[in-house]
Amino acid sequence: MEQSAQRRGPRRRPHSSGGAGGSRRPGGRGHGSHGGRGGGRPQGGGRGQGGRGRQGGGGGRQQSTFDPTQFINKNPVEVKEEVFVPKHSFADFGLHPRLLSAITNLGIENPSPIQDQTIPLAMEGKDLIGLAETGSGKTAAFLLPLIQKTLTNQNEITLVLAPTRELALQAESELNKFATAFKIYGTCLVGGTNIRPQIRALKRRQDFVFGTPGRVLDLINQGYFKTQNITNVVLDEADRMLDMGFIHDMRKILADVPRDRQTLFFSATMTREAEALVNDFMRDPVTISVKKKDVTDSIKQDVVVYDPSYKLDTLLTLLGKEELQRVIIFGQMKHQVEKLARELSRSGIKAESIHGNKTHGQRQRSLSAFKSGNARVLVATDVAARGIHVDGVTHVINYDLPTTFEDYVHRIGRTGRGVHKGEALTFVPKKR
Ligand code: AMP
């Protein structure tokens, strides 16, 4: 294996939204956040060259032509955890005492930055745009005020739309944790699982309905899910839903939800498409941004230059190193991801895979095996890996190049979470 000796200092990636902690009205929104997805790419690489466009004559395969040097950062900056001092305590928000106890019992002491700023506004009934990433505590930021609202008025019905089944299920399980002391009911409408139990669930009272746009729309079209009584809508990771092509489904779903609802919109970035959605479906929203430092600056990154005839051998050599303890490998295509996991297992490396061709149950089993340490390697496609939280991932390997810089950032963000340092290695073919 040959590792490139090229060196580049840590790069800054311009933020595509306002600075941390800002609260802005829509008048101030837009400029500066319009850079869209391309706006956040480093100079000299990324989308402009490879883009999201398909190459290779419609074979469905997306290729990228990144400048490999952008995958190198051997001197990651030391991340000093800034101590956030919240302006509020949970007791200040006017939450039910038993909801407060549930929060305490979960070991949550103080509001996170997004919670500190959005909960008071959400409690006032305002529409909100929260610019925050996974791990920011955004789920509780929307659940706590909406649980409180439901306790005050039993006619409240909340629809939470999320890009992936995993994320929808995660949000539902957070509801169950917070609302344990109350008769608050929730259900999850996601694809890849039997629709019958979901139809049965919709015949009962549900205060919270979580779901992915495709299945939710399916159940609306089949007449099982009535949106006319919905009073609150949450769009969780809205940018990812748009990325995944859910825009038409989202618009159809929202079209019949009463206009006087409360809408909470959470997104890591504010793209033009997201802005259009906000303009069409939200009422005078307040924007709160708690975007963190650029993750790419703090993760050690390098390339692995491989000879295309020996790509798998290069990977096996790499995985022979002891320090690669818990590894996520990203591949482009579902069947290749599956094949790679099998090849690794055959070579004695315990590997699991997650991709869109697996059922929800299969994906959950793979993820559990990886989380518990039974499998050392998880091979994944970008879409399948979205929204998953696994602690202690020591290495992310981009076996196939990501298609966009955003995908790259998202992939490498699976490592180096919290105080753990991680490393990202990107396979780049040797020039002939
Ligand atoms: P999320 O960003 O919603 O995916 O939340 C990430 C994790 O943080 C979840 O496991 C939450 O239970 C947890 N969490 C939520 N709010 C807080 C908080 N204020 N302090 C510590 N952990 C939190």
Atom of ligand 1 nearest to the CA of 135: 2
Q: What is the largest CA-CA distance in the chain?
A: 68
Q: Which residues of the chain have pLDDT under 50?
A: 1-61
| pTM (whole model) above 0.75 | no
Residues near 102 by Cβ (< 8 Å), separated by ≥ 6?
Answer: 177, 178, 179, 180, 181
The pLDDT of residue 382: 87
For residue 159 the two structure tokens come to: 């629809």
**159-192: b or e for each residue (b if 16 or more CB lie within 10 Å)?**
bbbbbbbbbbbbbbebbeebbeeeebbbbbbbbe
Instruction: Write the Ramachandran bin of 137: left for phi over 0, alpha for psi from -120 to 50, otherwise beta.
Output: left
Q: Whose CA is nearest to atom 20 of ligand 1?
A: 108
Atom of ligand 1 nearest to the CA of 133: 2
Atom of ligand 1 nearest to the CA of 115: 19
The pLDDT of residue 58: 34
Q: What counts of helices (H) and strands (E) characterise the chain?
A: 14, 15
Q: Whose CA is nearest to atom 21 of ligand 1?
A: 108
Atom of ligand 1 nearest to the CA of 174: 12
Q: Helix, strand or coil for residue 344? A: helix
CA–CA separation, 295 and 5 (whole Å) = 23
pLDDT digits (tens, 9 = 90+) for 374-387: 999 999 998 777 76
Residues near 214 by Cβ (< 8 Å), separated by ≥ 6?
Answer: 191, 246, 249
Q: Whose CA is nearest to atom 8 of ligand 1?
A: 137
**Ligand 1 neighbour 418 (Cβ under 6 A):** no
CA–CA separation, 213 and 160 (whole Å) = 10
Mutate to test the pocket of ligand 1, among 99, 105, 112 (most ligand atoms within 8 A of CB): 112
**Ligand 1 neighbour 135 (Cβ under 6 A):** yes
Atom of ligand 1 nearest to the CA of 134: 2
Cβ of 204: how many Cβ atoms within 10 Å?
Answer: 8
Ligand 1 centre and the CA of 135: distance in Å? 6
Ligand 1 centre and the CA of 72: distance in Å? 31
**Ligand 1 neighbour 111 (Cβ under 6 A):** yes
Ligand 1 centre and the CA of 192: distance in Å? 27
